Structure 1
Amino acid sequence: MPKRPAGVWAPRVTASLLALALVFTIAVTTPWHLIDLPEPDAALDFTSAQIARQDAFRHEILKWSTTSWILSVVVPLVIGFSPLGRRLYDALRVRPWFLAVPVTVAGIALITNLVTVPTDVLAERVSLKYGLSVQNWRLWVWDRGVNWLLTSLGVAVVAVVLIALAKRRQRGWWLPGAIIAALLVLGVSFAYPVLVEPRFNHFTSMPAGALRNDFLKLADQDGVPVKDVLVADASKRTTALNAYVSGFGSTRRLVVYDTLLKDTPPAQIRLVVAHELGHAAEDDVLHGTLIGVLGTAFGITLLYLLLGARMADPRRTGLFVALVVVATTLASPVQNLVSRKIEARADYHSLRLTNDPEDFVAMQRDLAVRNISGLDPSRWRYWIFATHPTPPERIAMGRAWAAQNGSTVPPLAKR
């Protein structure tokens, strides 16, 4: 058994307080119940052909995407929890340590990336076959490379900071480490819209016109200050429909996919925008950042209780990466549960803002058909991967709201 680090009383108490603060914040900022929903039933609104297409798509793609996910978790765990991590660090022969650590992190991420290339290629071919993806392979490789670089950079920065602190203060690095890591999360939340998003899409301001004016009027009506309305050139990658509000304060802007503007009825676009404004109106980005800050500080404190002074050894970089993977994997079900509840609140917000349940139900059906969304995922997939309610659940929300306000929305599959 490894010897526990000395002086663990303070970090234990701090970890307990951070855990309580994290649970409390999640509990009070998550909308656990909005409205009683009828039993979701895809057959009410999706034709047998639409259901069959969705089933066929998921049957073809899930075996590859699931394998990729398993490999992306297993590979860093095998490297980090075995002598392979230390051997990789030594084999790279990079000195000094503060350069060796980022190279090791990037190397582990690159190995993982390369191992998952075959299954990811097969998954992308399925998306191309069904018309969901339209990007060329050069762009696919570019996106993959940028994602690898950004992920490696983020993990490497945290690793270097923590190792440097542990070398300097072997028994007290957890406190400055937790503070610095939490501040990094806060900084990324502000910087992401202006530094990261442009790496994947090109954004242009929506030209002046009735649609832009309607979006800004809707935002004003909702009490949500929006700096700009941008159009993302998502059509170079996908046919999926989407919009979102990113940033907060001076960086907040409404972003609309160009695919959404192409063939979607104006009433449905308005509902999508109202949903995204709901996130801003409820300060979901701010609450998510707070949860991220608390979760990160808790994670760093817990890391000290697990490793203590051993964090000062840069040859344990692989172990650090493995522990990050364990933490993010275990946190995913909770994060997704909270995300589904928040997305449901944004749906509810859009219904209250537009008072248009009939177009809401039609919009959710059309989005699901275009995006080939899963209508009835298995329970374990739902808990581990689903960040949004299923389309039948969202449609049930529209019908429940309509019934609560004295109207009905007939089944769409029978029209």
Structure 2
Amino acid sequence: MTPRGWAVVTLVALVVLLAASSALLVPWHRPPAPRADQLAALRELAPDEVTRARAFRDALRPGSYGALLVGLLIALVLGLTPLGGKLIDLVSRPFGDHWIAQAVLGGFAVLLVADLVTLPFSAWRHAVVARYGLSTQSWAGWGVDLLKSYAVSAVIGAVALLGFYAVTRYAPRWWWALGAAGAAVLVVLLSFVLPVLVEPVFNRFTPMAQGPLRTELMALAERDRVPVRDVLVADASRRTRAVNAYVSGFGPTRRIVVYDTLLREATPDEVTSVVAHELGHAKDQDVLAGTLTGALGAAAAVTALYLLGSWGGLLRAAGVDSIAQPRAFALLFAVVAVVGLVSNPAQALLSRRVEARADAHALDLTGDPTTFEAMQRRLATVNLADPDPPRWEYLYSASHPSTVERMAAARAYARNEGR
């Protein structure tokens, strides 16, 4: 069988595995909370807070979708015309058009153009968030975080670009197989390494002081049979008023992380409710499940790129001979951008299902639907979340159930428990 034939068989197998893992690991059986309960919850929210949250989201929307559309447009212009290849040639020419310069510097040039074009939209977002009082960052602090993000992305990107194009260069017939395996391994490594190495770049973490709340959180984790090493407090308040908590790491590195803003804004019982939700993700191995599906998806994407790379029309439009050559990175970038846009609703749906299961876990673990509902109100108020967003936006991008869905779920739990 030819390499292309093996690639077709491999892609089919990866898609089947991806579908099977999604079917087995995602809680599809859980129905949404009754719409009548959602509307009842919405009516009980303070009208002025709902109006302010919706005004905030309305103010963000032009910048968010403007960045999405402009970013897609620049990706298509660079990838489906010879402009991308010419840009890569330009930055690599001082280095004799060496393939490493084309791969790394050329790749960075394409990504930098896309980032610079969408940078005004990022600044727009920061201005809106600051105007509504959700951000506590100055423009200087925002700029420093932006540079840190670029630096982290540059390190990861350099490794990925160099590795990918080294494989395509030295295994031209079978690069798709090695590249698929490498992409899967990279996804796994990032899942384990990012929480430990990258989180401290953006936040400082200090152990939570000994006291009733720390004792309760550690006891909650023990009762849930989720071993955690420590409870840490992140200094999120230096950039935002938003509240959050999460469980980070695996095995010996696992810890509960609580935003200092959550400690200021919420009651201890509400903090416990949020942490119970996050423990649900750890209990159900959601990160491992996401890593598995992400690794399978990355491997399938690389294999599909190999098969797509023989499409003459795309190659002629980009002015390249093969999608595997470094100067074709802009074409690869355009394909990834389109796939990301099309697949986003499916990713959001998967995320909502998993988050709903974690909500149910929190209710079961704490047995306190009243506090859970109160915490959802507080999250919506402080984070300026639209409690019942437009349906089209919810279906396209919502990664969590809406506030009214979560409040309704708490009420359904209370009814079922006879409370």
- Report the more deviating stretch, 357-366 or 110-119: 110-119
> What is the deviation of 1:206?
1.1
Structure 2 residue runs without a partner (length 5+)? 311-320
Task: Specify the alignment match of 1:47 in structure 2.
Answer: 46
Question: Which aligned pairs between 1:287-306 and structure 2 lie closer than 5 A?
Answer: 287-306=289-308
- Report the more deviating stretch, 50-59 or 357-366: 50-59
Deviations 1:359-393 (A, max 9, x none): 11111011101100122322332122211011001
> What is the deviation of 1:233?
0.6
Task: Specify the alignment match of 2:150 in structure 1.
Answer: 148
CA contact (8 A) 1:64 1:123 kept: yes
Tell me, in whole angstroms, the C-alpha distance in 2 between the residues paired with 1:159 and 1:326.
20
CA contact (8 A) 1:163 1:311 kept: no
Deviations 1:165-186 (A, max 9, x none): 2222222111111111111111
Instruction: State the one-letter code of the partner of 1:260.
Output: L
- Report the more deviating stretch, 72-81 or 21-30: 72-81
Tell me, in whole angstroms, the C-alpha distance in 2 between the residues paired with 1:127 and 1:7.
51
Task: Specify the alignment match of 2:318 in structure 1.
Answer: none
Deviations 1:37-75 (A, max 9, x none): 221225333111111111211222211222122222222
Task: Specify the alignment match of 1:397 in structure 2.
Answer: 409
- Report the more deviating stretch, 93-102 or 19-28: 93-102
Task: Specify the alignment match of 2:72 in structure 1.
Answer: 73
CA contact (8 A) 1:166 1:311 kept: no
Tell me, in whole angstroms, the C-alpha distance in 2 between the residues paired with 1:239 and 1:98.
43
| 1:16 maps onto 2:46 in alignment | no
Deviations 1:79-115 (A, max 9, x none): 1221111110111125322133222222222222221
2:278 corresponds, among 268, 276, 279, to: 276
| 1:86 maps onto 2:85 in alignment | yes
> CA 1:145/1:383 → structure 2, altered by over 3 Å: closer, same or farther?
farther
> What is the deviation of 1:6?
6.0
| 1:348 maps onto 2:360 in alignment | yes
CA contact (8 A) 1:108 1:318 kept: yes
Tell me, in whole angstroms, the C-alpha distance in 1 between the residues paired with 2:396 and 2:155.
25
The aligned length equals 403
Tell me, in whole angstroms, the C-alpha distance in 1 between the residues paired with 2:157 and 2:333.
8
> What is the deviation of 1:300?
0.9
Aligned with 2:258: secondary structure? strand
> CA 1:314/1:375 → structure 2, altered by over 3 Å: closer, same or farther?
same
Task: Specify the alignment match of 2:315 in structure 1.
Answer: none
CA contact (8 A) 2:42 2:388 kept: no
Aligned with 1:240: secondary structure? coil
Tell me, in whole angstroms, the C-alpha distance in 2 between the residues paired with 1:383 and 1:144.
29
- TM-score of the pair, normalised by structure 1: 0.93
Instruction: State the one-letter code of the partner of 1:14.
Output: T
2:246 corresponds, among 244, 247, 251, to: 244
- Report the more deviating stretch, 111-120 or 389-398: 111-120
Aligned with 1:123: secondary structure? helix
Instruction: State the one-letter code of the partner of 2:371.
Output: D
Instruction: State the one-letter code of the partner of 2:270.
Output: Q
- Report the more deviating stretch, 336-345 or 116-125: 116-125
| 1:260 maps onto 2:259 in alignment | no
> CA 1:8/1:354 → structure 2, altered by over 3 Å: closer, same or farther?
same
> CA 1:293/1:163 → structure 2, altered by over 3 Å: closer, same or farther?
same
Deviations 1:266-288 (A, max 9, x none): 11111001000000000001101
CA contact (8 A) 1:105 1:321 kept: no
Tell me, in whole angstroms, the C-alpha distance in 1 between the residues paired with 2:31 and 2:88.
54
- TM-score of the pair, normalised by structure 2: 0.92
Instruction: State the one-letter code of the partner of 1:394.
Output: R
CA RMSD of aligned residues (A): 1.8
Tell me, in whole angstroms, the C-alpha distance in 2 between the residues paired with 1:401 and 1:142.
44
Instruction: State the one-letter code of the partner of 1:386.
Output: A
2:21 corresponds, among 2, 8, 25, to: 25
2:221 corresponds, among 219, 222, 225, to: 219
Of all paired residues, the percent bearing the same amino acid is 43
Tell me, in whole angstroms, the C-alpha distance in 2 between the residues paired with 1:109 and 1:199.
22
Tell me, in whole angstroms, the C-alpha distance in 2 between the residues paired with 1:304 and 1:331.
19
Structure 1 residue runs without a partner (length 5+)? 408-415
CA contact (8 A) 1:193 1:251 kept: no
Question: Which aligned pairs between 1:141-220 and structure 2 lie closer than 5 A?
Answer: 141-220=143-222
Instruction: State the one-letter code of the partner of 1:345.
Output: R
CA contact (8 A) 1:336 1:385 kept: yes
